[in-house]
Amino acid sequence: MQRTRMAVLFATAWLGIAWLLVARDWMQLKVPLVLVNTRPDFDPRKSWGAYSPFFSVEEYVPPPGGCEITQVNILQRHGARFPTSGASVNIISAVRKLQSVNEYTHPALDFLRSFVYTLGTTDLVPFGALQSFEAGSTVFERYHDLVNADPFVRASSGLRVVNSANNWTAGFSAASHHKYNPSLSVILSEEGNDTLENHMCNNAGTSDPQTSEWLGIYAPTITARLNAWAPGADLNDRETSALISLCAFHTAASTANATLGPLSPFCALFTESDFAAFDYGADVDKYYYTGYGAALGRVQGVGYVNELLARLTGMPVQDHTQTNTTLDADPATFPLDRTLYADFSHDNTMVAIFGALGLFQQPRPLSTSGPDASRTWHTHEMVPFGGRMVVEKLRCGGEEYVRILVNDAVQSLCFCASNPSNLGVGLCTLSAFVESQSYARSNGGGDWEQCFS
């Protein structure tokens, strides 16, 4: 137990083992919640967009009978964190405005009279460290028959990403009773060529126009309600949205104890429809930033896709985008002989990679005036904190196949020309999968030249 505790504390020295064990139910979204103006079974943690905690969208289903997993590639987002410095500006401004008024007209705000804002910025919270530790444990338990050596682990160089990778390796090691002790082998510099980072396409745009349009539709009525509850606060719509995000951030940051705590009191300021509107704002943001709605969105995921193809085929990387050619050409820093790989990244980068692969295609662009209930683009299901994509390589009856899961949900791979119905949904022959990745493989980089034209 002491060795396990020492490993978990690698990135978060004040994380206790008792809390780790108790918090597992929180992470799996099993704790009953009570909110005002909502259905009894409503769980706001699935309406926090990219700030939602990891949950299994579907129960993991093992490969079909007669199929053997021969390789696993994991791409995982860092765990739950404090707000970024940019996001903190509106959060702190909103809290100060609410605390500056003389009188509240609604009791939901009374807690603010004694509330002290203590959140940090950017770094993992203890619960975020747990998410990666638990993920590492789950991977060993699920794929232990495949493992014959330490997994090869990479991370982009942001501190919360590096710490998440180290917590993952600690969880993997603990689950194996220290038979395997993987370490973070490669840290890709966010200042250089980095397939786990999405800031290298100079001409890439932002999602500000689209998110601002949706904000202007859903937020004014919420802002007016809060301003009526706190006369004189004069909140604006961006501060209102920031307060909804604070519900998520404060909840995650307040659970580092041996007794599982309730939702943040900020959550009680909002209704189910408020959370749904905020959640859709995250969908719009990701879709128009690095997703299909951005002209140069998915090209930012091409480098990783070509690295994935190299691992699946055992062939050198063929790419001219954001790959680090020096690292990828060296077997010590980009081996092709491992059965298990784990890479750690950010949500925006993962969305770009999903697009480059062809996952989560939409029949029409996301509307900025309201959600389409038939869409499959749900950020909280795609890239929650600790979210992950797993690419399994299988051998079934002498043929090699690929299967992709996102947060345990098997993807249909509708773009694959060879999807054998006798083996169920989601299997694509390896050769057909490689062929399907023409966008990433074309000229070694999709639309990459347009990033600098």
Least confident segment among 45-54, 334-343, 399-408, 414-423 = 414-423
- 298-319 as b/e, with b when 16 or more CB fall inside 10 Å? bbbbbbbbbbbbbbbeeeebbb
Residue 118 inside a domain? The answer is: no
For the segment 41-52, what is each residue's pLDDT rounded down to a tens digit? 788 999 999 999
Q: How far apart are CA 137 and CA 332, in angstroms?
A: 25
Residue matched to tokens 């053997």 = 68
Give the distance from CA 13 to its chain's centroid. Answer: 24
Catalytic residue, chosen from 43, 319, 347, 447, is 347
85-122 core/surface letters (b: 16 or more CB in 10 A; e: else): eebbebbbebbebbbebeebeeebbeebeebeeebeee
Whether residue 72 lies inside any domain: the answer is yes
Q: What confidence score (pLDDT) does residue 453 get?
A: 84
Mean pLDDT for 427-439 is: 95
Give the residues across from 187 on adjacent strands: 155
Parallel, antiparallel or unpaired: strands 152-156 and 428-429: unpaired
Nearest CA-CA partner of 286 in 381, 373, 218: 381
Tell me the pLDDT band of 443, cut-offs 50, 70 and 90: low
Query: Does 151 map to a domain?
Result: yes
What pLDDT score was predicted for residue 41? 76
Residue 412 maps to which CATH number? 3.40.50.1240
Quickly state the pLDDT bin for 258 (edges 50, 70, 90). Answer: very low
What's the maximum distance between 2 C-alpha atoms anywhere in the chain? 74
- Report the candidate in 440, 429, 284, 296 with the shortest Cα–Cα distance to residue 359: 440
Going by their DSSP bridges, the two strands 388-396 and 67-77 should be labelled as antiparallel
Give the DSSP letter string of 374-410: T----HHHHS-BT-EEEEEEEEETTEEEEEEEETTEE
302-324 pLDDT, tens per residue? Answer: 999 999 999 999 999 999 999 99
SS3 185: strand
CA distance 389 to 403: 11
Question: Under 8 Å CB-to-CB from 159, ≥6 apart: which residues?
Answer: 122, 123
State the pLDDT at residue 422. 72
How far is residue 61's CA from residue 424's CA, in Å, rounded to a whole number? 11
Indicate if 274 belongs to the active site: no
pTM for the model: 0.92
How high is the pLDDT of residue 13?
35
Please report the sign of the dihedral spanned by the C-alpha atoms of residue 137, residue 13, residue 129, residue 331. Answer: negative
Mean pLDDT of 380-388: 98
DSSP single-letter state for residue 124 = B
107 inside domain: no
Least confident of 96-110, 141-155, 374-388, 417-431: 417-431
Q: What is the pLDDT, as a whole number, of residue 34?
A: 44
Confidence of residue 419 (pLDDT cuts 50, 70, 90): low
- How many structural domains comprise the chain? 1
Judged against a pLDDT cut of 90, whether residue 4 lies above it is answered with no
**pLDDT for res 37:** 57
SS3 assignment, position 184: strand
Task: Evaluate whether residue 7 is within a structural domain.
Answer: yes
- Please give the structure tokens belonging to residue 62: 């093992």
Q: Between 248 and 37, where is the model more confident?
A: 248
106 as an active site residue: the answer is no
Average pLDDT of the residues of the chain: 90
Q: Which structure tokens are listed for 120?
A: 């940090």
Element (H, E) at 213: helix 208-229
- In this prediction, residues 64-83 reach a mean pLDDT of 96
Is the Cα dihedral 129, 131, 132, 138 positive or negative? Answer: positive
Asked if residue 96 belongs to a domain, the reply is no
pLDDT digits (tens, 9 = 90+) for 9-41: 344 433 433 334 333 443 443 333 345 556 667
Q: Give the Cα separation of 218 and 312 in Å (integer).
A: 44
Q: Is the pLDDT of residue 395 over 90?
A: yes
Quick: pLDDT tens for 114-133: 999 999 999 999 999 999 99
Provide the residue range defining the domain that includes 151: 2-85+123-204+272-451
Alpha helices (runs of H) in 106-207, residue ranges in sequence order? 126-143, 159-175
Residues in the chain: 453
Q: Could you tell me if residue 93 is inside a domain?
A: no
Distance in angstroms between the alpha carbons of the first and the last residue of the chain: 56
How many other CB atoms are found less than 10 A from the CB of residue 382? 27
Instruction: Mark 426-439 as b/e (b = at least 16 C-beta within 10 Å).
Output: bbbbbebbbebbeb
**Cα 250 from chain centroid?**
18
Residues 361-371 have pLDDT tens digits of 999 999 999 99
Whether 359 shows a pLDDT value over 50: the answer reads: yes
d(CA 404, CA 150): 22
Q: How many CB atoms lie within 10 A of CB 1?
A: 7
Contact 12, 129 (CB under 8 A): yes
The answer to whether position 218 is within a domain reads no
Separation of alpha carbons 321 and 306, rounded Å: 10
Nearest to 222 by CA among 238, 248, 240: 240
Q: Which two tokens stand for residue 235?
A: 């909140």
Taking a C-beta distance cutoff of 8 angstroms, is the pair 279, 416 a contact?
no
